[in-house]
Amino acid sequence: MAFPERMRKASFEKSSRIVLGLDLKPDQSENLLRKALKIIDEVKDDVCGIKVNLHLIIPLGFRELKAIVDRAHDFGLLSIADLKLNDISSTNIIATDILWGIGFDAVICNPFVGFEEALGPCIENAHLIGKGVITLTYMSHRGAVEGYGLDVLMEGKPIKMYDLFIERAIKWNVDGLIVGATNPALIKYVKGRVKTIPIFSPGVFVQGGDPKEAVRAGSDYLIVARAIIESNDVKKSAKEIKNITW
């Protein structure tokens, strides 16, 4: 089963649109692996996936990351590696081969690097084994406009950088797009363009995005990190967010 179908299945089974961002800060007073596993145990019924970024990928080893991914899989949750991969194909393939070996179901990539001798072989290899590639379209931070909102020329016509990335997502047959929840109007615009390609939206709560507005605009999944992992009651927070967005 391809990644988008498995993602939809997990979402339906958990009645949740929430992908938990395990953006844990290094803390000498508590073991990162133990803390990550504890959080997964607490939210397992209220999220449909986890996203692991450099907060854990850099300090943890292969075995520790695999333990996190395996724990997520034990509960029917999908796992996404957030590297914003952006390199030549040989490097991308080596990186994703390692991620697939750990057990990750998908990886987030930057489409700026292009297709030929860049993301193309990575996407093709991922699809051969049922893995997913999610590409950036518009991030959730305030400075996103400085890059994703730039004017560029496409076939002699001025368009926005995010329009170029939308076109690439469609042409490359990617498995998802990142569009920040802080811009519901853009989510609606992107959804109208990509139709069935799922939209993953970070930036709710702490960065100012309204989860309900993002879902109404067309977000399929909400990437939620600090509003859950920094909560005094992780399980309660995950359940509350799940209930207001399903």
Three-state DSSP string of 183-206:
CHHHHHHHHHHHCCCCEEEECEHH
220 CB-near residues (< 8 Å, 6+ apart) = 11, 17, 176, 198, 199, 200
Domain residue limits, the chain = 3-245
**pTM (global) more than 0.75:** yes
The owner of tokens 């615009």 is: 189
Is residue 84 annotated as a catalytic residue, yes or no? yes
Which candidate in 9, 35, 38, 84 is catalytic? 84
Residues in the chain, overall count: 246
Which CATH number does 3-245 carry? 3.20.20.70
pLDDT by residue, tens only, the chain of 246 residues = 999 999 999 999 999 999 999 999 887 556 899 999 999 999 999 999 999 999 999 999 999 999 999 999 999 999 999 999 999 999 999 999 999 999 999 999 999 999 999 999 999 999 999 999 999 999 999 898 998 999 998 888 899 999 999 999 999 999 999 999 999 999 999 999 998 999 999 999 988 899 999 999 999 999 999 999 999 999 999 999 999 998
